[in-house]
Structures are given as structure tokens and as C-alpha cells.
């Protein structure tokens, strides 16, 4: 039997991720890539990168210490920068300084130190202590739709919940929710490199506004400590003089940027998966205890984050292929999550799936910091929805559903349902 070559140029139309058919359902394209060109190379003038779609390959790159997250376009820390008083800097320079400290964009040893400090403040115990508050928010958000007999599940439920939870976590006033949502949406644009360049200006403006806003709260909490993540990071700073204000601000910023739209999409995509699989919906209703494995299956089945990337810091040989230093490697998490080598019957939604080794939260040292919180929010949100909305059904034809712009973060713009 002959095998197709693992590496090669993928057909151009396959790689057009803006096609409406791809936006509706990217998984057939991923399958073709995985089966025929699992290591696809793109060489179009200055645009040169590789695309990996097999689970084993994606994991191998994410765990490889020769792979960096320090991509060329990201703000970089400058030696001696910390000695400059932030008050003397232009707001844009202040924002870029904090952005250059975001852990998702740093390699070891900076990443190790930053993540270690946040890990001490953002513990599973702290997340667990949020459980009653999250349930209270879910109940409050469901009250009106239950009375009305339906709602737009994205707009009325999946969007507001994560932003209210993040406000609670960081100790920011819930009354600032509209600003926090606008800023988080814009920050997500910055994380979603697939969005057109014309939107980046708005994202940078938002980064400036949100850093100024967070700076005010940081000073207020330094004067009057509260019971929240920013205060816990300030306490860590007192114990460890290496944690700078910019690093605290960068961490608060990434929590806002990475924890909002992703969780919205987990709830929205998960609810849609149930609506499209009535037998699984009935199964969950009959066995509410399935919710824990169900949330991981929603994450695998239609992943909120479809891809990430890494850059080799040296020429690297992997899977019999050579990856050049500096040439970006796109890792299609959504494709890896449907790899039949790891997931039996990958196109089947199985809420009781065992040994679900999905990579929806990444893998290795940058594994999602908020995974425990995201799972808890997903569990409470979808579990409560299924328990209370006894006749949950789609209120519009399936073909009319629209997906958000951008491709790295996958989620619906709206999901009208009847209860």
C-alpha cells in the first residue's frame, strides 16, 4: 500500500479559511488536510509557514522546548525599561510595556516565573470558592429567558456570564461590565491573528484604555487590599520583588482577553452541539452527572480555540521533516481534536467519552491557566440550562446561524432558542 507524502503544499482553496462552507463546518477540510497533507507548507512570498493537523504532531510541537511563543510581531521587553517611571510615558508606551509582559507571549525563564507567581494566587481552591457565585450568576441570567420562554443564548447568556465571572475574579465592579466586554472583545481580536489588519487599531486603542483602567484599580487595591486576584498578585509582589506592576497588569489583561470569548464559545458551541444531537441532550437530561465528561466533549467536538502557533528557535527535525528557525508553525487544535488515531469515531458527539485527550486548552507549559474555571463555568451554565429549559430547541433554521468573524476563535454571533 502506498502512503501519501506527509509534507507538501496543500491545495490553495483548502487553505482559504474564510470560505462560508469552512466557517459553517471546518472539520471536513481538517480531515482532508490530516489525511493527505498533515504537514502542509505555505510559501507565498513573505508568507511562509507550516500547518500541522495530526494530534501527535501538535502535541510534539507544544511540548518541544525548542519552540517559542515569542512571535516577531509581539511587543518585546526592552532592557532597562522597568527603570522608567510609567507616569512619564505616553499611554501607548505604557500599554505596550504591559503587553510585552503577557505570559502567553513569553518563553522561559520569564514565563516560568510569571506563571509560578500567578499559580500561587489563582489556585483550584480559589476557583472552587467561586462556584456559588457562578451558580448565582447563571440563575440570574436564566431567570428572564425562563419567564419569556426563550432568548438569544449567545447574547443573553453565554456572553455576559464569563465577563461577570472575570470581573468577580479580578475584583472589578460588575457595573463596568459594558466597558469590560467591549475591551475584552477587542483584546480577543488581538489574540486572533486571523482577523483582518483594519481591526487591529481598535484592539490597540482598547489595550491602552484597559491598561489605564487596570492601573487605577491596581493603585486602589494597593491602598485597600481586597479578596481578589489582583490583590493576591500584589501580595506576591511584596514577597517577591521581581514581579513588576507591568507583569501584574499584563496578567490581568490576558485573563480578560483569554477568559471571555473562549468561555462564551464553549457555552454557545456546546449548546448548539446538544441542539443538533437530541439523543445526547436527552441522555444528559436523564443523567445530569454526565456534565463533567460532557463539557470536555463539547471542548473537543467544536473547539472554542481552533489553533495556536509556535516558532522554532533553531532548525529542528521532527517527524522526519525539517522545520526552519523562525518559520511559524500553525497547530490546528480543532483538527487534532478530530484525529481518529486518538479519538474513536471522532465525528460522533459522545457525552460520556472516555480518555478524552483533547488539546482545546493547549498542552505543555502554556496549558490554559483558566482551564479549571472555564470547565466550572461550562458545567454550571450548560448543566443548569439543560435542567431548566425542558423543551430546549432552536428557534431559527440551522442554516441561518452565523459564525463570528475570525477563525482562531470559533463561536456563533447569535443562537436564538426556545425553552
Contact footprint for ligand HEM (CB under 6 A): 103-104, 115, 254-255, 258-259, 262-263, 266, 304-305, 308, 360-362, 366, 368-370, 373-374
Nearer to ligand HEM, 14 or 376 (CB): 376
Nearer to ligand HEM, 104 or 210 (CB): 104
On the question of a cis peptide bond just before residue 280, with omega within 30 degrees of 0, the verdict is no
Shortest CB 202 distance to ligand HEM, Å: 22
Nearer to ligand HEM, 231 or 308 (CB): 308
Shortest CB 88 distance to ligand HEM, Å: 29
Nearer to ligand HEM, 14 or 375 (CB): 375
Do β-strands 307-312 and 67-68 pair in parallel, antiparallel, or remain unpaired? antiparallel
265 closest CA partner among 408, 144, 113, 140: 408
Shortest CB 123 distance to ligand HEM, Å: 13
Shortest CB 29 distance to ligand HEM, Å: 20
Shortest CB 394 distance to ligand HEM, Å: 22
Shortest CB 389 distance to ligand HEM, Å: 21
281 grid coordinates: 441532550
The H or E element spanning position 323 is strand 321-323
Shortest CB 270 distance to ligand HEM, Å: 9
362 closest CA partner among 285, 314, 292, 310: 310
d(CA 131, CA 125): 10
The H or E element spanning position 416 is strand 416-418
Shortest CB 167 distance to ligand HEM, Å: 11
Task: Give, rounded to a whole angstrom, the gap between the first and last alpha carbons of the chain.
Answer: 53
Nearer to ligand HEM, 91 or 168 (CB): 168
Instruction: Characterise 326 by phi-psi region: left (phi > 0), alpha (psi -120 to 50), beta (else).
Output: left
d(CA 185, CA 210): 12
Shortest CB 373 distance to ligand HEM, Å: 5
Nearer to ligand HEM, 37 or 262 (CB): 262
Nearer to ligand HEM, 162 or 419 (CB): 162
Rg (CA), the chain: 22
Residue in the block written with cell 489553533: 307
Q: Which residue is nearest to ligand HEM (CB)?
A: 370
**Secondary structure letter of residue 10 according to DSSP:** P
Q: Which residues, other chains included, contact 227 with Cβ-Cβ below 8 Å and sequence gap of 6+? A: 171
Nearer to ligand HEM, 171 or 304 (CB): 304
Cβ-contact 229, 121 below 8 angstroms: yes
139 closest CA partner among 315, 389, 367: 389
Nearer to ligand HEM, 14 or 61 (CB): 61
CA geometry: angle 318, 322, 323, nearest 5 deg: 90
Amino acid at each position: 500500500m502506498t502512503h501519501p507524502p506527509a509534507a507538501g503544499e496543500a491545495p490553495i482553496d483548502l487553505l482559504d479559511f474564510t470560505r462560508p462552507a469552512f466557517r459553517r463546518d471546518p472539520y471536513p477540510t481538517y480531515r482532508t488536510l490530516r489525511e493527505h497533507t498533515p504537514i502542509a507548507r505555505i510559501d507565498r512570498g513573505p508568507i511562509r509557514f507550516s500547518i500541522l493537523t495530526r494530534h501527535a504532531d501538535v502535541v510534539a510541537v507544544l511540548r518541544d522546548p525548542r519552540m517559542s511563543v515569542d512571535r516577531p510581531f509581539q511587543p518585546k521587553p526592552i532592557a532597562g525599561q522597568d527603570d522608567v517611571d510609567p507616569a512619564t510615558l505616553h499611554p501607548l508606551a505604557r500599554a505596550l510595556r504591559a503587553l510585552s509582559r503577557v505570559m502567553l507571549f513569553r518563553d522561559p525563564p520569564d514565563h516560568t516565573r510569571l506563571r509560578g507567581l500567578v499559580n500561587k494566587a489563582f489556585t483550584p481552591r480559589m476557583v472552587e470558592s467561586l462556584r456559588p457565585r457562578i451558580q448565582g450568576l447563571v440563575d440570574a441570567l436564566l431567570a428572564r429567558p425562563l419567564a419569556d420562554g426563550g432568548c438569544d443564548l449567545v447574547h443573553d447568556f453565554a456572553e455576559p456570564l464569563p465577563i461577570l465571572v472575570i470581573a468577580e475574579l479580578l475584583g472589578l465592579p460588575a457595573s463596568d461590565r459594558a466597558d469590560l466586554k467591549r475591551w475584552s472583545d477587542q483584546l480577543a481580536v488581538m489574540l486572533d491573528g486571523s482577523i483582518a489588519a483594519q481591526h487591529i487599531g481598535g484592539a490597540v486603542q482598547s489595550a491602552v484604555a484597559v491598561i489605564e483602567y487596570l492601573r487605577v484599580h491596581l493603585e486602589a487595591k494597593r491602598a485597600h487590599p481586597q479578596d481578589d486576584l489582583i490583590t493576591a498578585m500584589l501580595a506576591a509582589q511584596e514577597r517577591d520583588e521581581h514581579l513588576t506592576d507591568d507583569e501584574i497588569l499584563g496578567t490581568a489583561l490576558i485573563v480578560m482577553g483569554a477568559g471571555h470569548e473562549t468561555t462564551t464559545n464553549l457555552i454557545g458551541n456546546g449548546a448548539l452541539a446538544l441542539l443538533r444531537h437530541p439523543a445526547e441532550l436527552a441522555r444528559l437530561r436523564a443523567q445530569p452527572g454526565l456534565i463533567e465528561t460532557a463539557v470536555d466533549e463539547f471542548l473537543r467536538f467544536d473547539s472554542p480555540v481552533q489553533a495556536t502557533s509556535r516558532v522554532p528557535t533553531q532548525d529542528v527535525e521532527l517527524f522526519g521533516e525539517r522545520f526552519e528557525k523562525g518559520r511559524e508553525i500553525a497547530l490546528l487544535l480543532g483538527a487534532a481534536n478530530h484525529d481518529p488515531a486518538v479519538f474513536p469515531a471522532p465525528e460522533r458527539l459522545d457525552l460520556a467519552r472516555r480518555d478524552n485527550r483533547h488539546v482545546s486548552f493547549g498542552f505543555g507549559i502554556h496549558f490554559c491557566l483558566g482551564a479549571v474555571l472555564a470547565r466550572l463555568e461550562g458545567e454550571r451554565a450548560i448543566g443548569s440550562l439543560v435542567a431548566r429549559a425542558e423543551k430546549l430547541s432552536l428557534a431559527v433554521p440551522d442554516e441561518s446561524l452565523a459564525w463570528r468573524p475570525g477563525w482562531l476563535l470559533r463561536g456563533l454571533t447569535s443562537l436564538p432558542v426556545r425553552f
